[in-house]
Amino acid sequence: MDILKKTDFQWLGKKYTGKVRDVYEQKDQLFLITTDRHSSFDRIIAHIPWKGQVLNQISAWWFRETKDMVPNHMLAVPDPNVTVAKKCTTVPVEAVVRGYLTGVTGTSIWTRYSKGERTFGGLTLPDGMKKNQKLPHPIFDPTTKEEKHDRTLTSSEMVAEGLITQARFDEVKATALALFARGQEIALKNGLILVDTKYEFGTDDSSSGEGTLTLIDEIHTPDSSRFWQLGSYQGRIDAGQEPEYFDKEFLRLWFREHCDPYKDATLPEAPEELVEELSRRYIQMYEQITGGKFVRGETPVLPRIERNLRSYAI
């Protein structure tokens, strides 16, 4: 099975290595190569065949579906794993939108609600709500975008810290909520609930940051968004069960049972059957989200990418 673990195209530009993407920088554009790396516990724990292509092509699909709403950074998709993107100045706010009372992390709305917090994104919730319940309306619940740890701040706090102007914040909020509404509408047609997500924005003016707001990074992928199956949602909620969701947790659990993934210098190899199952699930999500058939790219992957990007060499 052909897997894209990393790239090393020294002729393409300066390289930055993210958790999942290798990013090459040229004067006015970036090359985002989505690999098959699978990150958890702040490290790479496995490589999942076709995951990179799935993520890249889902984002490209959504960028096309929402380009009438907000400009995005996508210039071209010369390869199933590659997006050529306009270079933008990042807006230092992670635009989180939530449609349901759920989540397990410290910044999740359900965790904060369980601890007594009631006001989120300007919406005050009543006592007695249940986990995974639909909110009266989607809320904008942004965090900062920082190297060490993102923080949940109000708009006034973000403005006071100089992270963003009020006018830009209002624009980011309105755009994020509109994108989420479009995402939920399309997801429902394909039997899915878009539960929550995060967007990243930039501006196309690299000098001042005051240019046109532009959607960057990725949009509505299984890695940036939570999806539930629509058909079983209400029945499972009524029965006190968790919604049926895109589940990657089984791989995390295997590593927790077989090593200390935070401390061990070397991790064991993930079982082949688990890797294949997660690959199958990513492909299933591609097909359900887009409504189209997933077509595997030509293999071997690395020479194909190099061939498709050679015309961009500097």
Q: What is the pLDDT of residues 197-228, one digit of tens each?
A: 999 999 987 555 579 999 999 999 999 999 99
Structural domain count of the chain: 1
With respect to residue 80, please indicate whether it lies within any of the assigned structural domains. Answer: no
Give the CATH number for residue 209. Answer: 3.30.470.20
With respect to residue 203, please indicate whether it lies within any of the assigned structural domains. Answer: yes
Q: What is the extent of the structural domain holding 119?
A: 91-239
With respect to residue 225, please indicate whether it lies within any of the assigned structural domains. Answer: yes
With respect to residue 96, please indicate whether it lies within any of the assigned structural domains. Answer: yes
With respect to residue 143, please indicate whether it lies within any of the assigned structural domains. Answer: yes
> Is residue 147 scored above 70 in pLDDT?
no
With respect to residue 119, please indicate whether it lies within any of the assigned structural domains. Answer: yes
Question: Residue 249, exposed/middle/buried by CB under 10 A (0-12, 13-18, 19+)?
Answer: exposed
With respect to residue 85, please indicate whether it lies within any of the assigned structural domains. Answer: no
Phi/psi of residue 103, each to 5°? 110, 160
Mean pLDDT score, 116-143: 95
Q: How far apart are CA 20 and CA 173, in angstroms?
A: 27
Q: How far apart are CA 312 and CA 212, in angstroms?
A: 26
With respect to residue 211, please indicate whether it lies within any of the assigned structural domains. Answer: yes
Query: Percent of the chain having pLDDT more than 70?
Result: 98
